[in-house]
Amino acid sequence: AARATPAGTRRDARSLAFSPDGRMVAGGDRDGTVRLWDATTGLQLSVLAGHEGPVWSVAFGPDGHTVASGGEDGTLRLWSVLRGTGEAVDRICRAVRRDLSREERDRYLNVPDEGEWPRRACAR
């Protein structure tokens, strides 16, 4: 298997996820950032900052336009990949474990009513 080290990575990345189309990689880092890379070239596309501590889990939404990250600060954040500004779409709740299960990723990323779902997801 081939190995590559994307630009801007460090040895302490905690989680990696490929976008659904395979073109991007998201990585959660100990410094509280989520970094996005081009999966083919390894070039860093953006750095999304907002967690107050290490990022333990990352996942892409099914359309590839949203990344969810769970951090040691107990928050789940949603990021717009298209904006590229590094702003969180929403700070959802303070009840996130280190690793998001497939069921949790589906619950947070595949809910059609975006106005209500953060409150419903955190109430569970």
Here the tokens at position 110 are 């595949």
For residues 55 and 73, give the distance between their C-alpha atoms in angstroms, rounded to a whole number. Answer: 8
pLDDT value at 38 more than 80: yes
Q: What is the pLDDT of residue 71?
A: 84
pLDDT in tens, 69-110: 888 887 788 888 887 654 454 455 554 444 555 666 565 555
What is the Cα Rg of the chain in Å?
A: 14
The CATH topology of domain 13-100+115-123 is Thrombin, subunit H (2.40.10)
CB atoms under 10 Å from CB of 83, counted, come to: 12
Most confident range, picked from 41-50, 66-75, 109-118: 41-50
Between 4 and 39, name the one with better pLDDT: 39
- Beta strand segments in 39-104, E: 44-49, 55-60, 66-71, 76-80, 88-91
Query: Which value, to the nearest 10 degrees, does the dihedral of the CA atoms of residues 27, 25, 76, 29 take?
Result: 10
Between 62 and 88, name the one with better pLDDT: 62
